[in-house]
Amino acid sequence: MAGGQQQAETNPGAIPAGDLPAGATGELNTERWLRDLQQALRLEVERGCGDLMGRQQSFSSFAAECWQTVPLSLQSEERSQAQSFAEAFATYGQLSVARRQGLVRRCRQWLHDWQRSRQPSTPVAPPRLRLASDPSQAPRRGSGGLKLDTPLAEMPGVGPKTAARLAALGLLLARDLLHYYPRDYLDYAHLVRISALEPGRTATIVASVRRCHAFNSPRNPNLSILELHLQDCTGRLRVSRFFAGRRFSSPGWLKGQQRLYPPGADVAVSGLVKDSPYGPCFQDPLIEVLEDPRALVRSEQIGRMVPVYGLTEGLGADRLRQIVAGVLGLAAAQPDPLPLAIRQQHALIERADALVAIHRPTDAAQLQAARRRLVFDEFLLLQLALCRRRLEFRSRIAPVLQCPAGGGDGATDGTTTTPTLVDRFLDLLPFPLTGAQQRVLSDIRSDLARPQPMARLVQGDVGSGKTVVALAALLIAVEAGCQGVLMAPTEVLAEQHFAKIGAWLPQLHVSSALLTGSTPAARRRELLQDLINGQLQVLVGTHALLEDPVQFQRLGLVVVDEQHRFGVRQRNRLLAKGLQPHLLTMTATPIPRTLALSLHGDLDVSQIDELPPGRQPIRTRCLRASQRHEVHALIREQVAQGQRAYVVLPLVEESEKIDLLSAVAVHRQLQEEVFPDLQVGLLHGRLGSDDKQRVLTAFATGSCQVLVSTTVVEVGVDVPEASVMVIEHAERFGLAQLHQLRGRVGRGSAASHCLLIHDGNNAMARQRLEVLVGSSDGFAIAEMDLQLRGPGAVLGTRQSGLPDLALASLTDDGSVLELARDVAQAVIAADPNLEHHGGLAKALAEQRQRQLEAARLN
């Protein structure tokens, strides 16, 4: 029907532009055809059906053409109707006005019906409910003589039994209830029509009763059933409620129920939607009869977000809700600690409103606003405390550690100044520092040259070369006449550091010693003596360094390697030994930013974000236990090329409960059955220090080619010839830990391999391991680990510095954390002692008090 299309272009009608459309369109555009025709019909009616003249044609000829050239979307009967309309409009000019009006009306009606029939049933708007005045406002009226520190046992309506049960939840005072945040919410604010109900989701509907039936269960005489058949404009639904107990089975009671829900009555129903053979249904929902669909809902729950609290034996959900509701009036009792200007600037709602709304949100949006405010507060207090700690730390006086000669970074050759210790050290190294190492070293150098103590965290992926940076820093301290300490989390690592230092420091005429738990008493005495009289310049050790008899003559710098293995308290204990040493902490566990900000917000952070050149990427694969022969073949092939292999196991001894291969058994099997011609070493935490050292040396020098080990190799062991890392039961390790282990290989120039052996049955675990196969970016892996396992697991149980956050999540609330950090920094910068922020100072003091109390209880 190209004619229609053509006509639209070549038939400029006589009707003025803007009055009638220029012409009909063909099947290509139904919407336009409809719109143009409807517009013409409307105009014709408005002008009294006088057969309006357009610019190029009359209304009647335009309409007749339209009906002749109809869109393809018209069905065959519709086409015959169109044909008769076309004929009728062809004679329109000869009809009386009354008949013209009749024709136009019929035509418009037909088009209207046709249009509706074409549209997929237009979605019906969800119902509306009128809820009793905003519940978040209601409790404000009064708190019935309650105070924040009223014991719950004295709360009206709470007897000794209930008080004891609340105490079991840790709820003693009224304020505790206010901060006993719901674990979850039933979203009854989700108002829908019946046709839109989704099984598995909570919802509220407003519907009318078709029929109601209350009867005794045919199978159980003690059970009565109420069945409601409901409908709204979109569909029908069955609702059942069950009543257990004899008292519900009397005919009188059943009749009474039926009378409650007469046919035609409007009801609001909230509950969990279930699937049934007859479609979605509600089982045991909340039901309220409404006087009319617009009547006020009396229920405290229907149509709202209903809080779900952690419960305890003997304390039901409704009872606890009611008790919490009783203290909400107290929320308004405290002034908002956050100045109005900050609240406005960052769109934070008032704290009192947030406290009420977190318990009784009217809808998801209000809940979100409430949560954002309370999460912000948690982070803000944390960040304020960190900012102040930082400020306080910086206000102390530390020795200025500056090389007298003021040498460069060692990379600058040809200067006339006498080379510094650091310069000479860097000359000893068989490689130049990477750009990242140089940058971090110069950060450290300028920190040390200031009288404020340095508090710096160096983050760098495994193998990025943090050790040489640490040694250079220690040499700066030595050159300035101070002593330096390098603390490592394990003996193995401390010994390894010491071995490295032993290769370099004697050449620089710097004295050094190792102090660990297994240092013999005589050696120890001698060493402590040298430390006090200043003979000993660099001390390497484990946490044995923290013990009381260890005293320095002039401690200038403390380097803590793999600092995530140490708690904040341990760190501070060491600091207390010096006048006020500078502090350099290093970590290879890339900490996700949210965690780093929460834990180390008081530290400056430098990043070694570049690996030494020539490193080959590590090829990572996931294998099932049944593919172990491939592992053995790879080890054999690599050893033949002069490389070495680690086999890491999660446990030392076979446990009856957990079916894991033990290191001992694996070692025996590998040595006796698989590699009888090779030397297979065994390293685990229960070995004595000498044995450990012997095993490591054998592996480092190559007299042993395969090292079976528990996770003691995780941190820092450095054997560049190792090119295979096999990890048994990889699913039992966290991703960050696996990444650390993997970092033990790929340190030389040979291509390296990491084989993750898993039991193959756990799809989730397998998926987690695939993250490692796909990524070698420690930060991305750490983020993923945080998402998958949460902060506690990521940091390990030894990390005690995690803040206690009731509501905030380090995984989900990163942006609020950043905001809180910015605000905290601005506040502290403008008002270091919080003299003009009384509310915040008070909140901070209260928090510290709570922490002290909690620490005392533990």
465 interface partner picked from Mg ion, ligand ADP, none, CB below 5 to 8 A per type: ligand ADP
Q: Minimum distance from CB of 644 to Mg ion (Å)?
A: 19
Would strands 202-216 and 266-276 be described as parallel, antiparallel, or unpaired? antiparallel
Which of these segments, 117-125, 179-187, 708-716, 789-797, binds Mg ion (CB under 5 A)?
A: 708-716
User: Which partner, Mg ion, ligand ADP, none, binds residue 567 by CB below 5 to 8 Å per kind?
Assistant: none
Smallest gap from Cβ 484 to Mg ion, in A, equals 17
DSSP 21-88: -S----TT-HHHHHHHHHHHHHHHHHTTSS--B-BSSBHHHHHHHHHHS--TTS-HHHHHHHHHHHHH
Closest CA to 186 of 301, 107, 276: 301
The distance of closest approach from Cβ of residue 466 to Mg ion in the complex, given in angstroms and rounded to an integer, is 5
State in angstroms the smallest separation of the CB of 565 from Mg ion. 12
Helices 317-327 and 160-168, interaxial angle, to 10°? 90
In the bound complex, which residue of the shown chain has the CB atom lying closest to ligand ADP?
A: 465
Q: What does 69 interact with, of ligand ADP, Mg ion, none (CB < 5 to 8 A by kind)?
A: none
Please compute, for residue 559, the number of CA atoms within 13 A of its CA located in the half-sphere on the CB side.
29
3-class secondary-structure state, position 276: strand
Q: Cβ closer to ligand ADP: 61 or 434? A: 434
Q: Which is nearer to Mg ion, 716 or 814 (CB)?
A: 716
Q: Which lies closer to ligand ADP via its Cβ, residue 82 or residue 433?
A: 433
Q: Specify the residue, 225 or 468, whose C-beta has the smaller distance to ligand ADP.
A: 468
**Partner interacting with residue 242 (select from Mg ion, ligand ADP, none; CB below 5-8 Å by kind):** none
Shortest Cβ distance from residue 543 to ligand ADP (Å)?
A: 19
The minimum distance between CB 687 and ligand ADP, in angstroms, equals 22
* Residue among 483 and 587 whose Cβ is closer to Mg ion: 587
Among the listed ranges 274-282, 507-515, 577-585, 715-723, the one in contact with Mg ion (CB under 5 A) is 715-723
Question: What DSSP designation does 580 have?
Answer: S
Draw the binding track, 512-531, toward Mg ion (x: CB under 5 A; -: no contact): --------------------
Which of ligand ADP, Mg ion, none interacts with 612 (beta carbon under 5 to 8 A by kind)?
ligand ADP
User: How far is it, in rounded angstroms, from Cα 113 to Cα 78?
Assistant: 11
Partner interacting with residue 281 (select from ligand ADP, Mg ion, none; CB below 5-8 Å by kind): none
Question: Across-strand partners of 755?
Answer: 621, 726
Measured from the CB atom, the residue of 478 and 611 that comes closer to ligand ADP is 611
Q: What minimum distance in Å lies between the beta carbon of 615 and ligand ADP?
A: 8
- Out of ligand ADP, Mg ion, none, what residue 460 binds, judged by CB under 5 to 8 A for its kind, is ligand ADP
Rounded Cα distance, 490 and 720, in Å: 20
Which residue, 242 or 431, is less far from Mg ion as judged by CB? 431
d(CA 369, CA 698): 61
Torsion angles phi and psi, residue 542, rounded to 5: -100, -160
* Shortest distance in whole angstroms from residue 463 CB to Mg ion: 8
Q: Which residue has the tokens 């450095």?
A: 718
Q: How big is the CA angle at 820 (ends 816 and 824), to the nearest 5 degrees?
A: 175
Between 232 and 562, CB nearer to ligand ADP: 562
- 696 is written with which tokens? 């490591």
In the block, tokens 């708007």 appear at 125
Closest to ligand ADP by CB, 748 or 760: 748
Name the residue nearer to ligand ADP (CB basis): 433 or 663: 433
The CB-of-778 to ligand ADP minimum distance in angstroms stands at 10
Q: Which amino acid is at 780?
A: A
Q: Look at the block and give the residue holding tokens 């009731």.
A: 806
Under 8 Å CB-to-CB from 490, ≥6 apart: which residues? Answer: 542, 565, 712, 715
- For 535-559, the DSSP string reads ---EEEESGGGGSTT---SSEEEEE
Edge to edge, the sheet with strand 582-587 lists: 512-515, 538-541, 483-487, 555-560, 582-587, 455-460, 604-608
Report how many residues bind Mg ion under the rule CB under 5 A.
Answer: 1
**590 near Mg ion (CB under 5 A):** no
State in angstroms the smallest separation of the CB of 710 from ligand ADP.
Answer: 19
Looking at the Cβ atoms of 407 and 716, the one nearer to Mg ion is 716
Nearer to Mg ion, 559 or 683 (CB): 559
**Eight-class DSSP state of 446:** H
What gap in Å lies between CA 553 and CA 505, rounded to an integer?
Answer: 20
Binding part of the chain for Mg ion, among 192-200, 448-456, 712-720, 820-828 by CB under 5 A, reads: 712-720
Q: Residue 145 and residue 157: Cα distance in Å, rounded?
A: 13
Minimum CB–partner distance for residue 723 and ligand ADP (Å): 14
CB of 433 to ligand ADP, least distance (A): 5
Contacts of 542 (CB under 8 A, 6+ apart): 487, 488, 489, 490, 491, 494, 515, 516, 517
Nearer of residues 464 and 737 to ligand ADP, judged by Cβ: 464
Q: Does 463 bind Mg ion (CB under 5 A)?
A: no
Cα diameter, the chain: 128
By C-alpha distance, which of 9, 440, 360, 443 is closest to 186?
360
* Least distance in angstroms from the C-beta of 616 to ligand ADP: 13
Residue 716 binds Mg ion, judged by CB under 5 A:
yes
Give which of ligand ADP, Mg ion, none residue 737 binds (C-beta under 5 to 8 Å, depending on kind): none
Binding site for ligand ADP (CB under 6 A): 431, 433-434, 437, 460, 462-468, 588, 612, 716, 718, 720, 747
Q: Pick from ligand ADP, Mg ion, none: which does 684 bind, CB < 5 to 8 A by kind? A: none
Binding site for Mg ion (CB under 5 A): 716
